[in-house]
Amino acid sequence: MSEILSMKNRVALVTGAGQNVGRQIALHFAAHGAEGVVVNDYFLDRAQAVADEIEAAGGSAIALQADVSSHESVQAMFAKARERYGRVDALVNNAGNAGATPDAAARKPFYETGPEVWRTWIGVNLDGVINCTAAALPGMIERKHGKVVTIISDASRFGDAGMEIYAAAKAGAAGFMRSVARGMGRYHINANCIVIAAMGTPQIEARMAADPERTKKVMEKYIIRRLGKPDDVANMALFLSSGASDWITGQTYPVNGGFTFAL
């Protein structure tokens, strides 16, 4: 295990870690020596399954349910994390959603909906990032060290027709991270983003299988012609949460197969 990419003596909290990318990030942290991993998910059974997987491999983890869109729920989660481990050294804001309905094609244009729908996008993708970061920062400031990593989307940088509110929420999260980086640098706290494109989740793979012609057109936009894998993102999250990134802050790193380039 490379010492510079080690999570030794670090406690990490990963939101939305019950499946897919979040799960792999949590597993990566544990495999690289994390003192403890706080596995968050909206569904406790999913979080518990990942925590059990970490402990079965010899690591230390705790599963905590929380709705990241709720300030009170997040505060309670961090209190429990501190009870178990005493601190949170690295926060990964991974929890996100792509809207209220499972089928993107079935969504109405945003101007035909209203705030009750918009909040389903903004609550997790923006409010959740703000809530969790606000809960993590006081302890990091006190210890004069910390890492905050937020997972965003290419929609936040270049737009995505039909996903206007989602794109706005993710762009807001990116702007928030840059401002956190500027404000927290004097405390040796790093704040960065990872921007991802289409990931090979069961949901996305099912959609693509149902429309091969559209899938072909979409995949032609990727220089590396495959969907993303959870490992692809977990490797970057590990780098940005480890000592290897101590002089890197306020940045956005595309992990997207060349779908878009860094600006």
The enclosing domain of 172 has a CATH number of: 3.40.50.720
For residue 212, tell me if it sits in a domain: no
Burial of residue 248 (CB within 10 Å: 0-12, 13-18, 19+) is middle
For residue 260, tell me if it sits in a domain: no
* Paired tokens of 228: 């993303």
Active site residue 111: no
For residue 88, tell me if it sits in a domain: yes
Kindly give the interhelix angle for 128-143 and 164-184, rounded to the nearest 10 degrees. 10
Over residues 179-188, the pLDDT tens digits come to: 999 999 999 9
Per the CB < 8 A criterion, the answer to whether 76 and 66 are in contact is yes
For residue 102, tell me if it sits in a domain: yes
Choose, from 42, 166, 187, 253, the residue flagged as catalytic: 166
Structural domain span for residue 71: 3-199+229-255
Over residues 192-225, the pLDDT tens digits come to: 999 998 887 777 777 777 777 877 777 778 888 7
For residue 23, tell me if it sits in a domain: yes
Q: Does pTM top 0.75 for this prediction? A: yes
**Residues pairing with 11 in the sheet:** 36
pLDDT reported for residue 102 = 44
Q: How many domains does the chain have?
A: 1
